[in-house]
Amino acid sequence: MVITAAMVKELRDKTGAGMLDCKKALEENNGDIELAIDYLREKGIAKAAKKADRIAAEGLTYVAVNGNDAVLFELNSETDFVAKNEKFLDLIQTVGQMLSNSGVDSTEKALALTDASGVSLEKMLLNATATIGEKISLRRVVKVTKKDSEGFGSYMHMGGKISVLTVLEKPDFEVAKDLAMHITVFNPRFLTRQNVDQATIDHETKIIEQMMANDESLKGKPEKVLAGILQGKLSKLLQEFVLVDQAFVKDPSIKVSQYLKSHNNNILSYVRLEVGEGIEKKESDFAAEVMAQVKK
């Protein structure tokens, strides 16, 4: 399989590994990005797999709270320049108001909403596309409902490049917002250890086993010792994935769980949206630059 510059760049963006290492990893795994990530981790070249990361599209995310209901969504544009345009910013406010007052829970339902004059949201986006000069599209509408006894907290980073909503067991806006800020920075994959699926545990265990097999300092050690080391490494790794086990962003000397305990509260759920997750963006001339480096 031909390994393209775009593939090398994508793998480098996800792992932070060097271009030559990325090219070799792709060659060894027939161009499969996910297998190449595991290959680099097993070799100790990449410390972590950023599997949730994707080449970002432009636009903004938004979170709107209305009583016990909240909605998060993503509004995409083709360039970051347009995402800062006053018309685009006005549009996202309008969309946020429409969605927060409607109770819709999907993109399809959202696009069918109409304003006071009977114009559908889908039509509004088409009109905006014509006016602004770039395709404007709605993506990933998420609705969250809480009980009266629970509390919301939200945070929008860089004007909406990332939006987070948290739901706490008890209302406490400051704590909920602190946790939303933490989630923005550390992007946990799971709420608690109990939420970690077996497939993730099996996958990470396999990678750690291969890393240990490549570690000369572990050669000849008893199986019982190796098993203990493996479990220790797995536990440490899961701390990076699990929200309540992570070091709290405002005080790294304590875990998120300890921060919550000090405020006699608990986090029930969260939603995190980042602009462009899962969308591929048009490649720039940088791809040619990367291939030129690889061929040296």
Q: Which of 145, 162, 196 is the last residue of a domain?
A: 145
CATH number at residue 42: 1.10.8.10
Which segment, 10-19, 125-134, 227-236, is predicted with the most confidence on average? Answer: 227-236
Query: Considering the domain boundaries, does residue 212 fall inside one?
Result: no
- In this structure, are 140 and 69 located in the same domain? yes
Tell me the pLDDT tens digit for each residue of 216-230: 999 999 999 999 999
Same domain, 77 and 138: yes
Domain count, the chain: 2
pLDDT tens, 60-117?
999 999 999 999 999 999 888 888 999 999 999 999 999 998 989 999 999 999 999 9
What pTM, to 2 d.p., does this model score?
0.73
Q: What range defines the domain where residue 122 resides?
A: 58-145
The answer to whether residues 44 and 96 belong to one domain is no
Residues 14 and 39 in one domain: yes
User: Is 66 domain-assigned?
Assistant: yes
170 in a domain, yes or no? no
Residue 286 pLDDT grade (very low, low, confident, very high; cuts 50, 70, 90): very low
Residue 139 lies in a domain: yes
**Same domain assignment for residues 71 and 137:** yes
Any domain includes 242: no
Q: Does residue 87 sit within a domain? A: yes
Using the 3D structure, point to which of 145, 166, 198 is the last residue of a domain.
Answer: 145
44 and 73 housed in the same domain? no
Q: Are residues 74 and 134 in the same domain?
A: yes
Q: What tens digit of pLDDT does each residue of 222-267 get?
A: 999 999 999 999 999 888 999 999 999 999 999 999 999 999 999 9
With 50 as the cut, is the pLDDT of residue 52 above it? no
User: Is the residue at 167 inside a domain?
Assistant: no
Are residues 17 and 49 both part of a single domain?
yes
* Residue (of 171, 183, 96, 191) closest to 138 by Cα position: 96
Last residue of a domain, one of 100, 116, 145: 145
CATH of the domain at 118: 3.30.479.20
Any domain includes 186:
no
Is residue 63 domain-shared with residue 40, that is, in the same domain? no
Same domain, 64 and 132: yes
Residue predicted with more confidence, 182 or 126? 182
Please tell me whether residues 91 and 140 are part of one structural domain.
yes
**Is the domain of 86 the same as that of 128?**
yes
Task: Output 283 or 69, whichever has higher pLDDT.
Answer: 69
